[in-house]
Amino acid sequence: MATATFRIWRGEKGQGKFQDYTTEVSTGMVVLDAVHQIQAEHAGDLAVRWNCKAGKCGSCSAEINGMPKLMCMTRLNSLPLDQPVTVEPMKAFPHMRDLVTDVSWNYKVKQRIPKFQPRKPDAEDGTWRIAPEDVERVQEFRKCIECYLCQDVCHVLRDHQMHEQFIGPRFLVFAAALEMHPLDVGDRVEELRKQFGIGLCNITKCCTKVCPEGITITDNAIIPLKELVVDRYFDPLSKLFRVFSHTKA
C-alpha cells in the first residue's frame, strides 16, 4: 500500500516543532483520517478537535499546506503526496496544544452582538407569515458552521491582532443574518461602526475564499452592512427617511 508523510505541528502554548509521521494511505482518505491513524499508531496523545467528519460541525479547522481548511473535507488526492503534507493549528487564536487552539474569544464576541428581536406575531396564534423568498435571502448566512477559518485568515485578526476592535468576518456574517432576518426589528448599526470595527475590513475577500460553506462573506454580508453604516452616518436624506419609516433594510 502507498504511504505518505504528514508534517504535524506538535507542542504546547505556541512552543513546539514539526514532527514527521509516515502512514498508509488509501482511496478516498481525508487529512483527518490520516491524523487519526497517526494518533492510533504513533502518537496517542496528539491533540485534535473533530466531531462530525462530514463538514457539518466546524470543529476540525487547521492549516493544511498553509491553507486554512477543514481536515475532514480535505481529500488526500487533492494534495501532492510526493512531499510531506504540513498540518498546523490556526494562527489567529492562542495556541493550546498540537492542532488545537483556544477559540473562546469567538464565543465572547458573539455575546456582545445584540440578540434577535422579533416583530410582533402576524397571526392570532402567535405565529408569523414569512414569504419563501424572504427566508431564502438570509439562508446563506445561516449555513455558517462556526469553523472560524475566515477569522483565521483575516489579516486584521491574524496579523494585526486587533481582537479588541474588530469582530471579524464570522460575526459580520452573524450580524448580517440578524439585520436581514425578516422578523428582526433590532438595530446594530451603531455597534457595527463603533464597537465592532466594520471599517477595519478593507475588502480583501480572503475570508470568502476560505469559507467551506461557500458563503460570499464579503459581497453579500460585509458590503451591505457597510452600506447600512454609510447610509446612517453619512447620508442625511436616508437618516430623515428612517424617522418616518419602520421598515428596515
Partner 1 sequence: MAEYITHEHDVVIIGAGGAGLRAAVEASAAGARVAVITKSLLGKAHTVMAEGGVAAAMGNVDDRDSWRVHFADTMRGGQYLNNWRMAELHAKEAPDRVRELEAWGALFDRTSDGRILQRNFGGHRYPRLAHVGDRTGLEMIRTLQDHGIHLGLDVFMEYTIVKLLTHGDRIAGAFGYDRERGRFHLFRGKAVVLATGGIGRAYKITSNSWEYSGDGHALAYHAGASLVDMEFVQFHPTGMIWPPSVRGILVTEGVRGEGGVLRNRNNERFMFKDIPPLYVNQTADSEEEGWRYTQGDKNARRPPELLTRDHVARCIRTEVREGRGSPHGGVFLDIAWTKEKLPNAAEHIKKKLPSMYHQFKQLADIDITQEPMEVGPTTHYMMGGVRVNADSQMSEVPGLFAAGECAAGLHGANRLGGNSLSDLLVFGQRAGEYAAGFAKENSLGAIDTQELASAEKWALRAFEHNGSENPYGVQHKLQDTMQDLVGIVRQEQEMQQALERIRELRTASDAVGVDGNREYNSGWHTALDLYNLLTVSEIVTRAALERKESRGAHFRDDFPAKDDQAGKFNIVARKGPNGEVQLTREPIPPMREDLQRTIEEMK
* Site of interaction with partner 1 (CB under 8 A): 12, 26-30, 33, 39-40, 44-59, 73, 75, 96-98, 100, 102-104, 107, 110-111, 115-116, 118, 121, 126-132, 135, 138-139, 142-143, 145-146, 178, 181-184
Query: How far apart are CB 245 and ligand FES at their closest, in Å?
Result: 42
What is residue 19's three-state secondary structure?
strand
Instruction: Say which amino acid occupies 158.
Output: R
Which of partner 1, ligand FES, ligand SF4, none binds 67 (CB below 5-8 Å, type-dependent)? none
Residues near 199 by beta carbon (within 8 Å), at least 6 away in sequence: 193, 226, 229
**Between 57 and 67, whose beta carbon lies closer to ligand FES?**
57
Cell numbers placing 176:
448580517
Q: Is 244 exposed, middle or buried (0-12, 13-18, 19+ CB in 10 A)?
A: exposed
Query: How far apart are CB 25 and partner 1 at their closest, in Å?
Result: 10
C-alpha to C-alpha distance for 174 and 190, rounded to whole angstroms: 16
Is 201 a binding residue for ligand SF4 by CB under 6 A? The answer is: yes
Instruction: Tell me the CB-side half-sphere exposure of residue 223, using CA atoms within 13 A.
Output: 9
Which of partner 1, ligand SF4, ligand FES, none binds 96 (CB below 5-8 Å, type-dependent)? partner 1
What is residue 3's three-state secondary structure?
strand
Residues near 58 by beta carbon (within 8 Å), at least 6 away in sequence: 70, 144, 145, 146, 147, 148, 212
Is 74 a binding residue for ligand FES by CB under 6 A? The answer is: no
# of chain residues touching ligand FES (CB under 6 A): 12
Interface pick for ligand SF4 out of 138, 147, 167, 180 (rule CB under 6 A)? 147
Is 223 a binding residue for ligand SF4 by CB under 6 A? The answer is: no
Note the residues at the interface with ligand SF4 (CB under 6 A). 58, 144-150, 154, 156, 169-170, 173, 201-207, 210-213, 215, 217-218, 222
